Structure 1
Amino acid sequence: MRKLVVSFMMAGLLAMGAGAAQAAESTSLNDVVSDLYGVPYKSSGTSTKGFDCSGFTRYVFDALGVDLPHNSAAQYEVGESVEKKDLQPGDLVFFNTNGRSISHVGIYIGNGTFVHSETGRGVVNTKLSDPYYWSKRYVGAKRINSPVLEAKAETPKKENAVQAASLPENQATNK
């Protein structure tokens, strides 16, 4: 009887694990990010009550099944370097905003745009080519191994799907 109960418990645990993996695979970057626009900036924030930059990227990647450290410089040590011209949605983009080192991170979403939690503005999207601030502080990008992001990169994309779906104005009009 004891072996039967243990067998059922193990089968249940395996089924739950498979369900979690399947849920992570069915979640897209856009699904996760689109619900976070407007979440306020909060120093050391890691939840939908408020994010700092690395808390935001960690939260998004956690929803995609990837564990990242909660520090932009530490996140820069993870993944594979990517040239700016080769960026794909889901790549982490890094900036030097303090004049000393990596101090800001966001997530590239396509069409020259990244989403991040910015001091004073919260979760927003911004052009990498912004000539006044971000383009001058860009340091590099990293690609994180994630089955969800890899599957999306292999499928044909609609040209403006991520950008159009992620604009705060579009989100506001859909409510």
Structure 2
Amino acid sequence: MTYKFLIISSILMFSGCASPPPESKVKPKPPAYTAQSSLDLKLQLMTEYKKWHGTPYKFGGNSFKGVDCSAFIQSVFLNSQQLLLPRTTAQQSKIGTRVKHTDLKIGDLIFFKTSKSARHVGIYLGNKQFMHASSSKGVIISRIDNPYWASVFWQYRRILI
């Protein structure tokens, strides 16, 4: 009797694990970025920028007392787009899709190789401008055609569709 109970229990237990999950009834979200919403996106990004503007740079920092570039980017996207990005520049540089400078859109990430091993990231705002946490000036807006930034440019990546 106990033997039959164990066999039946085992069969029920394993068949329950093998059943397919129920279909999700959650509708997919519309794209976070569309041509019609680029102005709204810029306003959302600028709202976040105004909160952080002037915050000093601190390697490893993630607060208004001091923030590094990747933590700043992570916070901006979390608060403006409800999108949690990876914490480090190395991780952020691998998400989304690579884009050409001729295809840049507001909200694209811009990456730089500032030394042999150091990387830097900012968010493109349009009109050749990007916001970032500068190691010398804190959270600021800079131009991508500035000779320094142009000389250390690495890649653009799109994470919002």
User: TM-score, normalized by length of structure 2?
Assistant: 0.69
Query: What CA deviation, in whole Å up to 9, does each residue of 1:73-128 have, x standing for no partner?
Result: 1101011111112111111100000124x610001111001110011210011110
Give the Cα separation in 1 of the matches to 2:49 and 2:108. 13
Say whether residues 1:138 and 2:159 are aligned partners.
no
Give the Cα separation in 2 of the matches to 1:42 and 1:116. 13
Kindly provide the amino acid, as one letter, of the partner of residue 115 in structure 2: N
**Aligned counterpart for 1:44 among listed residues 53, 56, 60:** 60
Structure with greater helix share of residues? 1
Deviation at 1:46, TM superposition (A): 1.1
Query: What CA deviation, in whole Å up to 9, does each residue of 1:127-164 have, x standing for no partner?
Result: 10111x1101111111113xxxx5xxxxxxxxxxxxxx
Q: How many residue pairs get matched?
A: 120
Give percent identity, aligned residues only. 38
Query: What CA deviation, in whole Å up to 9, does each residue of 1:38-97 have, x standing for no partner?
Result: 111111011222110101100101112111111111101011111112111111100000
Q: Secondary structure at the match of 1:66?
A: coil
Q: Secondary structure at the match of 1:43?
A: coil
Q: Which runs of 5+ in 1 are unaligned?
A: 1-24, 151-175
Give the Cα separation in 2 of the matches to 1:71 and 1:98. 16
1:1-175 aligned at under 5 Å gives the runs 28-63=44-79, 64-100=81-117, 103-131=119-147, 133-145=148-160
Deviation at 1:31, TM superposition (A): 1.6
Give the Cα separation in 1 of the matches to 2:136 and 2:54. 11
Q: Secondary structure at the match of 1:35?
A: helix
Kindly provide the amino acid, as one letter, of the partner of residue 46 in structure 2: N
- Structure 1 or 2, whichever has the larger Rg, is 2
Q: Secondary structure at the match of 2:123?
A: strand
Give the Cα separation in 2 of the matches to 1:115 and 1:67. 18
Kindly provide the amino acid, as one letter, of the partner of residue 85 in structure 2: L
User: TM-score, normalized by length of structure 1?
Assistant: 0.64
Query: What CA deviation, in whole Å up to 9, does each residue of 1:3-51 have, x standing for no partner?
Result: xxxxxxxxxxxxxxxxxxxxxx998222212221111111101122211
Q: Is the 8 A contact 1:47 1:59 kept in 2?
A: no
Superposed CA RMSD in Å reads 1.8
Q: Which runs of 5+ in 2 are unaligned?
A: 1-39
